[in-house]
Amino acid sequence: MHIDTAVVLAAGEGTRLRPLTRNRPKPMLPAANRPILEHVFDALVEAGIEKLVVVVGYKRDRVQDHFGPTYRGVPISYVSQTKQLGSGHALLQARSVVDGPALVMNGDRLVDPATIEAVDTSYAETGHTSIAVLERQDTSRYGAVEVQDGDIVNIVEKPRHDDFRLINGGVYAFDGDIFEAIDETTRHAGELALTDTIELLLESARVRAVEVDGMWVDATYPWDLLTVAREVLARGRVVESARDEQVWVDNSARVHDEATLQSPVVIGPDCEVGPDAVIGPDVALGRNVTVGANSVIQHSVLDADTRVDPSSTLVDTVTGQDVNLGISTVVPGGPADVQVGTEVFEDQRLGAVIADRAVALGDVSFVSGSLVGPNARLATGVTVDGTVREGAEVVR
Amino acid sequence: MCGIIGCVGRGDETLDTLVHGLSKLEYRGYDSAGVALANSHIDLCKHSGKIADLREALSDRTLSGSVGIGHTRWSTHGPPTDENAHPHQDCTGDVAVVHNGIIENYQSLRDELVSAGHTFTSDTDTEVVPHLIEDALDAGADPEDAVREAISRLEGSYAVAVVVAGCDSVFAARNDSPLVLGIGEDATYLASDVPAFRDFTDKVVYLADGEFARLNGDGWTVTDTDGTVIEKDIDTVQWDPEETGKSGYDHFMLKEIHEQPRALRQCLRGRVDELAGTVDIGDLGDLSPTGVQFVACGTSYHAALHGAQLFREAGIPAQAFLASEYATATPPIGDALVVGVTQSGETADTLSALRAARRRGARTLAVTNVVGSTAARECDHALYIRAGPEIGVAATKTFASQLAALNLLALGTSTTGDARQVISALRDLPGHVQAVLDESAAQEIAELYQDANAYFFIGRGYQEPVALEGALKMKEITYKHAEGFAAGELKHGPLALVTENTPVFAIVTGDDERARKTIGNVKEVEARDAPVVAITDGQSDVERYADHVLEIPETHPRAAAVLANTHLQLVSYHTAALLGRNIDKPRNLAKSVTVE
């Protein structure tokens, strides 16, 4: 039987993506110029799902406001997880609105519709719980699985040895009994992990492994959004109309005749791009972004309502929403060591991450690898190097 | 006001279709509801209370018939009782009628019918209609002619739908009350508003005043009063039926407050070009009015006050009038453009005012949310605010969209110096409203002051209409006393009401003379120990004199009005929620008021 209901888990903040998650959960961060969750819904709708159930929690308003009651004609039910006590606990919140088998997946990772269809088909043919698995060189960062004759026989979170070839793809088909199985799962440190429940299932039932390849991308750190955008553009998973090969421009956007768009590039609804601006390659502009005359934007993701005043240069930059960058802002980009808390991530290609509603008044320069918190105010002529905290005022 | 529905061609699903449609119309009134199905006789069920009560009453009844009508009522004549609920019937029980509007000559008709021996069972004006039909049927007329004859006797406003025993048709007519047909594959619908049948079809035909419709198994025909067939255009509506869902919110009002960024984007889409500094509102741009008179009611009137200021600032004489006053005491119009601001496009007072203006030869423009509404069709021009359907009775997102649309109108029809600055502020508005939604401390304010005796709101310039709107919202959904004043008026009387139990909300934006003077008023109330909540962009030092601050992003004062209002919407919403009020359907109120 084809499964018609999907449960999408979108309640967690995604703390490693701070400061971009100040006002919204990770699934609402941009994959190119649309929320990650929109891509997840696209894949589900394209795979034939007829009912979407979304578990919301952290900043749930943002999910509800964006999607409303339907997505592409498919009705959405929202259920709330008020405390984020693990993926199993999240799924449990959907119990009252799910009747029968369901596909379950995370709302913060982009997967191919074919992956979802394959899991659905496996369940339809065997009637057994089915899980997407993928081959990975290094399984130590994921949930690794051991498969015999198409059945999962072992599942290990972040294994210390490299005997594994396959990882858990996070796309599941469960029958209605999954909720009872979660009830019987032991909590660890107060949390209920879905993988623990699957371990429990392995003791008494067959769990099918559905080996897939194809798109499977997510963002762990803010700069990963640049990689995600590149992947989305390369695969053409864009809704705006194509003006040219890999140049997508929404019909409501205004791009000056004297501006240059270099593929791949996507310009969202209501955007304005001024004369002699150069946008691309690998640039995604969200809704209502303004780029002033003579500005150059490359390898960057600018989220909704961001303004870039004339004669600015942004390379390898991620902005949050409603960021205001004054005249002659410069982010030169290139590889840098990025410090997050006490951790240093070496040689990351990152110009700057500038979070929601930060303001740079003009002539502000960013040393590569800078992280600017939400609502920060950078005075004219400042050079930013390293981390600027939320709401901070930086003066010369 | 009330909501009516009818359908033919749904077979065994007729009753379910009617009840489903009524649930979508419940926002139009909700003190009683009923349905009638026609077969060889009439099966009828009606009940005081909500649609849920009707469903309950239907659960142990069997109603059969494949043509039917239904009604959800908001009392105008007679209290909400089972007897006064629609449909109403004649003496024989072979005719059933639902009606929205007011029949002005009902008393004389009723006297005439009573003396002719008819027995009335309700206090409603509507009940004259089935008895008139009964008389015509008795005189030998066929059902259609009988209904026509009865309609011809009516004066006033009405949208009526009629079924007659043994007849497979629904008859309908309208005058001054909304009525729209829904054209399905095998079925035809009629209703006061599209959501009633939007789940079944997106093809609609809007009836005009004086038109008569007959729906039966063969389809539908629209005729004029003489019976001549009128060719009607079939329109397609874009609205998604599921947009009537609450999408995870407890109330439509909160959902709609949160929809403001999206509504504003839709309002502005394709109409502004910031880099060129231009506004495109189509052929409205050629109006170039030399004077403007706004007519509106309630929240729309507050938007109209904002609109009048916009034109005055552009050097064009402009005034906002309460539509109910304008209709009966119309001022000299000269060659002014008369602009009706009405969310639904069906507000009876505003329609009357616009008609009064048109009778004097004035050019009229409707600023409305509803395409095909009466205001949009009757006026020379229409500017749509594109906010999408609003279900909560208290207007929220439509006010924001009205302000944005009026700014477009002012920019598009006149030349002002700082067009680009305003356009830039308008384009920033969706993101700025989102900032208010993300950060507002409104809930804490509501918790602190939910027990206050009264709430006062003050502002100057563009913030004065916001003060009035803040108070109206508070009244509507919390049932508490609230008043808004031009800040300077406070000392001319209302200050006597100010005590330590009356929080004062002061909207202070910018740092100009207006801001400084309003801060002076803040000090006046502070001296009377009233708690002060300042809504400010932080440019002035008002926070020094306020007990609490609700912050808005720094922007143009016109855009600041929308932002300040968003905080006040949230304060009212959270106060009403804490007080346990029926937020989406406050007592005694209806969404669009189609009676004068």
CB contact under 8 A, B248 and A270: no
User: Could you write out the three-class secondary structure of chain A?
Assistant: CCCCEEEEEECCCCHHHCCCCCCCCHHHCEECCEEHHHHHHHHHHHCCCCEEEEEECCCHHHHHHHHCCEECCEEEEEEECCCCCCHHHHHHCCHHHCCCCEEEEECCEEECHHHHHHHHHHHHHHCCEEEEEEECCCCCCCEEEEEECCEEEEEEECCCCCCCCEEEEEEEEECCCHHHHHHHCCCECCECCHHHHHHHHHHHCCEEEEECCCCEEECCCCCHHHHHHHHHHHCCCCCCEEEECCEEECCCCEECCCCEECCCEEECCCCEECCCCEECCCEEECCCCEECCCCEEECEEECCCCEECCCCEEECEEECCCCEEEECCEECCCEEEEEECCEEEEEEECCEEECCCCEEEECCEECCCEEECCCCEECCCCEECCEECCCCEECC
Separation of alpha carbons A336 and A72, rounded Å: 41
> Could you count the other beta carbons within 10 Å of the beta carbon of residue B328?
11
CA atoms within 13 A on the CB side of B84: 18
Separation of alpha carbons B94 and B162, rounded Å: 11
For the annotated catalytic residues of B, the residue numbers are: 2, 591
CB contact under 8 A, B247 and A270: no
What pLDDT score does B25 carry?
A: 82
Contact of B298 with B395, CB cutoff 8 Å? yes
CB contact under 8 A, A80 and B248: yes
Q: Cβ-count burial of B11 within 10 angstroms (0-12 exposed, 13-18 middle, 19+ buried)?
A: exposed
- Measured in whole angstroms, how far is the alpha carbon of residue A237 from the centre of its chain? 14
Nearest to A22 by CA among A63, A68, A58, A66: A58
What pLDDT score does A341 carry?
A: 79
What pLDDT score does A6 carry?
A: 95
Give residue limits of the domains in chain A. 5-218, 224-394
Chain B residues 230-249 with CB within 8 Å of chain A: 240, 242-249
Residues 6+ apart with CB under 8 A from B152: B225
- Among chain A residues, CA nearest to B424: A290
Residue ranges in chain B whose pLDDT is less than 50: 241-244
Q: Give the mean pLDDT of A315-334.
A: 96
Give per-residue pLDDT as tens, A205-223: 899 999 999 889 889 899 9
ipTM: 0.88
- Among chain B residues, CA nearest to A55: B248
Chains A–B, number of C-beta pairs less than 8 Å apart: 78
Give per-residue pLDDT as tens, A77-117: 899 998 889 999 999 999 888 888 999 999 999 999 999 99
Q: Is A287 on the interface with B (CB under 8 A)?
A: yes
Sort out which chain B residues have CB atoms less than 8 A from A269's CB and list them.
265, 269
Cα angle: A241, vertex A243, A244; to 5 degrees = 125
Report the CATH number of the A5-218 domain.
3.90.550.10
CA-based nearest distance B479→chain A, Å: 27
Alpha helix ranges (H) inside B238-317: 252-258, 260-268, 298-313
Sort out which chain B residues have CB atoms less than 8 A from A288's CB and list them.
265, 427, 430-431
What pLDDT score does B77 carry?
A: 63
CATH numbers and ranges of domains, chain B: 3-242 (3.60.20.10), 245-430 (3.40.50.10490), 440-596 (3.40.50.10490)
- Among chain B residues, CA nearest to A274: B275
Say which residue, B357 or A46, is predicted with more confidence: B357
CB contact under 8 A, B258 and A65: yes
Q: Give the mean pLDDT of A358-385.
A: 95
Residue of B434, B436, B566 to mutate, testing the A interface (most A Cβ within 10 Å of its Cβ): B434
**Is CATH 2.60.420.10 correct for A224-394?**
no
CB contact under 8 A, A76 and B431: no
Nearest neighbour of B431 by CB, restricted to A254, A256, A322? A322
Separation of alpha carbons B493 and A32, rounded Å: 58
CB contact under 8 A, A76 and B428: no
Chain B residues 312-351 with CB within 8 Å of chain A: none
Cα–Cα separations (whole angstroms), residue B154 to B104, B105, B134, B207: 8, 7, 15, 18
What pLDDT score does A369 carry?
A: 94
A224-394 shares the fold of A5-218: no
Helix (H) or strand (E) holding B570: helix B557-578
CA-based nearest distance A248→chain B, Å: 18
Separation of alpha carbons B28 and B25, rounded Å: 6
Give per-residue pLDDT as tens, A160-210: 877 888 899 999 999 988 998 898 888 888 889 998 998 888 888 899 999
Amino acid at B469: E
Does A364 have pLDDT greater than 90? yes
Contact of A254 with A279, CB cutoff 8 Å? no
Separation of alpha carbons A38 and A124, rounded Å: 26
